[in-house]
A = this chain, B = another copy of it.
């Protein structure tokens, strides 16, 4: 038996024994994921049990090094673990910005002490992180941020305001872009610091969205304290890390646009009926649906192609520059079509008959996809200038 087969056998056995039955049911939505933290939101006690057991083996973040709390698994082993978890429909034990955003940045830009201090608690689900990027007067123009960090010897004092900080009201620590220097161009003088949210100088107020949920906050800093040992990278060089994370985030958001499992056109035909040739009765909607599905197919093919090109050692091609833009626009189209296909229940907001407005709320939420993480307009600017080489105005 190969090592990998043996690993599979052991993994299967361990999962069978350790994954609680309640954690073998798929999550219903974002709110159902376990995010950890000092005061975790726990819908079911098994969530913590499951997270702790996985964390003990480093399997909450199986591809990170063991020394930082990860599982130290190689690509093939990670794949086996995912497959075996999928086999029993095991939930992901832990979902957090620490894993998806800060961790990769620290592994790339952090010093040894920072990795040692911050990564293990992320793996164990002990500390929940949020991201302090956008500001009220710096939306797409992120680099014009004004939140100030004043040098006080071994620490900074932070003053200013962030907005669109995801779950800042529930996070323990923040990774935050601050201005340590005003003298150069706007991209210079930005620093990337980490600090604890549990201090008197920090206040987070949730923002209610048009979809009715409040995943984001306005966050205010009034002499909030950040230790200098928690400055990541050099002072004034934080923009490099910010760009790295923005790209990372865009790739995550673009995933929204993947082709759905069930064809929307078939759902439409089920709901609205077919003509004698088996075609959706309404030919107008049929055109929009066919064009949407065609584009979703071609977009999925493009994501595969770029993946295959990377695997073949050809590097990340120019096609990847369109992912964020196209994926989010596609997702918005999909959501508009949902309203047209599902009709009256899709414009319902509350109540069981409308499944608490899931379709409408998803539709409204999708409008943010082409704004957050760099608007579609900014994406198109980037393609025009960096890929096509068109000049500045």
A276 to B281, CA, bound (A): 12
A68 to B290, CA, bound (A): 62
Which DSSP category, helix, strand, loop or mixed, fits chain A's interface? Answer: helix
CB distance from A59 to the nearest CB of B (A): 50
A18 contacts across to B, CB distance below 8 A: none
Count of chain copies:
2
16 intermolecular pairs with C-beta atoms under 8 Å apart: A275-B275, A275-B276, A275-B277, A276-B276, A279-B283, A283-B283, A283-B284, A283-B286, A283-B287, A284-B286, A284-B287, A284-B290, A286-B287, A287-B287, A287-B288, A393-B393
Contacting B at CB under 8 A, from A346-393, are 393
Contacts A276-B276, A287-B287 supplied; 13 other A-B pairs, CB < 8 Å = A275-B275, A275-B276, A275-B277, A279-B283, A283-B283, A283-B284, A283-B287, A284-B286, A284-B287, A284-B290, A286-B287, A287-B288, A393-B393
A276 to B277, CA, bound (A): 10
The 3 A-B residue pairs with the shortest CB-CB distance, nearest first, are A283-B283, A287-B287, A284-B287
CB distance from A266 to the nearest CB of B (A): 16
A277 contacts across to B, CB distance below 8 A: 275
A393 to B392, CA, bound (A): 12
- Closest Cβ neighbor of A279 among chain B residues: B283
CB distance from A16 to the nearest CB of B (A): 51
